[in-house]
Structures are given as structure tokens and as C-alpha cells.
Structure 1
Amino acid sequence: MSGIPSSTWYVDFFTELPNEFWRRAVPPGATVDEIDFAERRLGLAPRSRVLDVPCGSGRHSLELARRGHRVTGVDLSAEAIRHARRAAVGLDIELVRADMREIPRDNEFDAVVCLGNSFGYLELDGLREFAVALGGAVRPGGGLVVDFASAAESILPGYLAEPRTIRTGDITVLATSEYDVAGSRTFSHYRFTRGEEEAELTAIHHVYTVAQIIDLLSGNGFTDFELFGGTGGEPYGIGSRRLLLTAHRMS
């Protein structure tokens, strides 16, 4: 195994080059499908107050605001927040640079969306803090969507660590992965290149079981859990590519 990256890798990872790669890599239709799913499964009323955390470059925040919702987006990446602010002119969005655990805890949001597989960035103690913050952010009766591709039930069956090369315009990424058995986590190694520019970065995704996630969230006031394997509403099961979990905060 190569050198172990810092547990706070996400503080320095999301600079312009990786952010621009992911801005290009995700098709617009995927964002529309994800927000359609959130609105449908949470029963969002018009002009709902929605927290998007972490919001990255704002693709979900922007789509929610275009649909008339009042949106707050929170992300730690200064570059991503700057990009989102430029794109949000004229929309009802507040964009805040902060750690995902530093969200408002005054139970004022009708819903929180945590989309894009960032739920596994944190070690267990950090994830416990985030679960507490989520419970403090959502009003009684409000909803939650968590998008998580590193649930144990998703990645462990047939786990493969084959290198991949991905190109988006003039950006090329070589991606490799390894599984740390002792730490129950994956190390995803990336080499981003654009012309003469190059960045070698490693991301950590902690692997949690579905039961662990439900336990953390239910201990902070959430109930009515439903598990989906995609935005079309298909049921989640062993080997599903992603987990889309929805819940509501107790009234």
C-alpha cells in the first residue's frame, strides 16, 4: 500500500483542476434527475428552504433555486464556492464557505440534501458530528436525502481496483483505487493533467454499512427511512452502485 494520506485530505483536495474535471464530468441530466428525486421523495412544497451540504460548485443548489426554492449551500472549497457564486447571480441562494459540520442548527430547513458521495469523507467521529448537525438543521417533519456510493453493501461485493483513464475535453485523469481492510476505507488516487499542468491527489472514502448510517441518523431525530438504488426509485440491494437514503425528522 502506498503512503496513507491525511484524514483531512478534503481540505486541500478540491482546487480548480479537480473541481473543473467534475464540473465537466457530470452530465446536466444527472443533476435534474437527482433533484427530481429529492422533490418527489421528500414532497417538497414550492419555496421550500433547502440546505445543500456539501454543495461543491453548486450544481444541485442552482437547480433547486431555478425551481423556486430558497437555498443555502455550504462547502469547504473556496474555489468551488467562488464558482457557484458566479453562476448564482439572480437566484435565491446563500453560499457559505464552511466545514460540512458547521451548518446552521436552528431547525429552520424544510430539507437537507447531501448528494455526490461526500457522506463518506469523514471518519466515524466526524460523521457522528455531521449527523448531529443534520438533526439540528432540519425542522420537525422536514426531509433528508443522502447519496452514498461507499456503503459496504455497494462496494464490497466483487470489489475491483482496476485503473481507469477518464477524459473531459483537455483534462485527463488516471484513477486507481485500493481498499484498506484495517481501516474500512478506500484510497482513490488521481493524476489530473491539463496541458503542462498536473496534480496528483488522493481521496479517502470511509466505508459504512447501511445499518451504521441509519443508526447514526435515527439517533439524531430521523425516521421513516427508505433505501433506493437510483433516482428512478429502484430498491437498494447488495451490489447497487449507489445508495440514495431518504428520511424525515420526527415531528
Structure 2
Amino acid sequence: MENWWKTFFDADYIRIWGWADKPAETAQQAEGIWKLLALHEGCRILDAPCGYGRLSLPIARRGAIVCGVDQSEELLAQAEKNRGDLPLDRLCYVRHDLRQTLPNGRFDAAFNVFSSIGYGSETDDLAIFKTLYLAVRPGGRVLIDTMHRDAGVARFSRDLKPAHRLADETLVVEEPTFDPISGRVQTTWYWFGPNGQGQKSASLRLYTITELIHLLQSSGLKFISAHHGCSEEPFKAEGPEMGGRVGILTERV
């Protein structure tokens, strides 16, 4: 399933995983990112990868100058459609492979949200973190939000097959398998509903939080704190979800 991500993020992805029906959650994440990264009006922010601009847009509307970067042409096209009346000097989108250094840098802060690592090799992820490190100025903060291995294993131990319905009654079912040797989840989503049916497969490396912090430090970033996703709430590995998603806040020194 090598390079599966090159074709995964298309119109079907937007329809099945889009957040059109979750505006409150998006607003909450944008608020958390704003506070964790100590953002302010006029600061320069990198959203990498940005997808279809789900978080780039509300953060730019708050007054930040945002550059969203993604490798998917289709997601970037949707992001442009969603920009509304925000001018290019407030919100721009660039197609780029984050394993390669960005040509422009010195952002005040950067964020990588919604499990956008672990697609390829550990070397690939280290390259992505190095790109984020080089993109921000000294003292600039970088936030990584992702699922971690402990939370994933807790879910697999309950032998669950996640399923949910979209607003149009489309049923989405996931069938994941976990390889504890490679630390990878091989998963396939199936959907069926009034707007058609289909399936998509992915392969994701789930890192422990310890491994993530080690990779971030290897790229040059200094660990500051761990949070419950994109919130100021401190991360606690408790409950049946082992704390759920983790947000790792770092800084370029």
C-alpha cells in the first residue's frame, strides 16, 4: 500500500470525512490552536497539511496571516472554493510535498493536525518535522495533533469495528487490523448510501507519545507540553480511550 495517500484525498474523502456537519468542533479546535500557539492578529501561520482549509479559514478570519500547504490538488481546490472574500495576503494555499523543505519560511508558528503523519516511513515523518522546524522562526511554536499507539491499542483490545452514519444516511464502516511489530494499522473504510457506495484503504504508523517526542526533538524542536488534542487541557492517559488524541506542543529554540 505504498504511497496510498497520493490518491486517497479526493472528492470522496471530502464527502465521507468532511466536517461540514461539525462546525462547533472545528471552532473549538481553532480556538485551542490559537491559544496553544499564542497567536495574535497579524502573525504568520503555517497549516501543514491544510486539507480543504478546515482550520486555515477560521484562523485567518481571526486576523492571522495563514499559508495552507497540502499535496492534494483536489483538497486545495476545495479550500479555494471555501475561502470566501478573504484576500490572498491573508490566506494563501500552496501545493507541496512536506517531506521537502518549503521555499519560504520564518512563520511565527505552525500546526499539523488530524493524524497527518505515519503515512510512510519514519524517515518521511522526520523529514516532515524538519520542514516544520525550518519553517518557523526561532522561538516559534509547532503543534502536532494525532492519534497515538496506546489509544489505538486500547480500541483494538475491545474488538470494535467502528461505524457511523453521515447526515445523508450513508453508512460508513471501518475494518482495521493492527500489526504490533511494525506498529502499523492497515484499514479499509466501506460506505453505502443514497449518493453511492465505495471504499478506501490506508496504512498508518501509530507512534507512542515517547516516540513522537523523540522524532520531534531529533528534528530540532523542543518539547513543551502534551495536551488533549487541540485544547489547553493537559493530556492524561486515562479511561477506555487512554486519553484519546494527543496534541504535542513544541518550540524551535
Query: Structure 2-normalised TM-score?
Result: 0.89
Cα shift readout 1:117-145 (whole Å, capped 9, x = no counterpart)? 11222321111111211111111011111
Q: What is aligned with 2:163? A: 165
Tell me how far apart the structure 1 counterparts of residues 38 and 80 of structure 2 sit (CA, whole Å): 27
Secondary structure of 1:163's counterpart equals coil
Q: What is aligned with 2:142? A: 144
- Going from structure 1 to structure 2, the CA distance change for 1:102 and 1:193 (only over 3 Å counts) comes to farther
Aligned length: 244
Structure 1 unpaired stretches of 5+: 1-5
Secondary structure of 2:201's counterpart equals strand
Tell me how far apart the structure 2 counterparts of residues 66 and 232 of structure 1 sit (CA, whole Å): 19
Q: What is aligned with 1:154? A: 151
Cα shift readout 1:66-93 (whole Å, capped 9, x = no counterpart)? 1111111111222111110011132221
Contact 2:39/2:64 (8 A) holds in 1: no
Q: What is aligned with 2:30? A: 35
> Which deviates further from its counterpart, 168-177 or 206-215?
168-177
What amino acid is aligned across from residue 218 of structure 1 in structure 2? Q
> Which deviates further from its counterpart, 197-206 or 66-75?
197-206
Query: Structure 1-normalised TM-score?
Result: 0.89
Q: What is aligned with 2:48? A: 53
Q: 1:192: how far off?
A: 2.6
Q: Which runs of structure 1 show a deviation greater than 6 angstroms over 4 or more consecutive aligned residues?
A: none
Matches within 5 A, 1:1-251: 6-24=1-19, 27-91=22-86, 92-102=90-100, 104=102, 106-149=104-147, 151-157=148-154, 159=156, 160-170=158-168, 171-195=170-194, 197-238=196-237, 239-250=242-253
Tell me how far apart the structure 1 counterparts of residues 59 and 226 of structure 2 sit (CA, whole Å): 22
> Which deviates further from its counterpart, 75-84 or 161-170?
161-170
What value does the CA root-mean-square deviation take over the aligned residues? 1.9
Tell me how far apart the structure 2 counterparts of residues 161 and 73 of structure 1 sit (CA, whole Å): 37
> Which deviates further from its counterpart, 57-66 or 220-229?
220-229
Secondary structure of 1:156's counterpart equals helix
Q: 1:201: how far off?
A: 1.1
What amino acid is aligned across from residue 153 of structure 2 in structure 1? L
What amino acid is aligned across from residue 63 of structure 1 in structure 2? P
Contact 2:220/2:252 (8 A) holds in 1: yes
Secondary structure of 1:157's counterpart equals helix
Contact 1:53/1:73 (8 A) holds in 2: yes
Structure 2 unpaired stretches of 5+: none
What amino acid is aligned across from residue 53 of structure 1 in structure 2? A
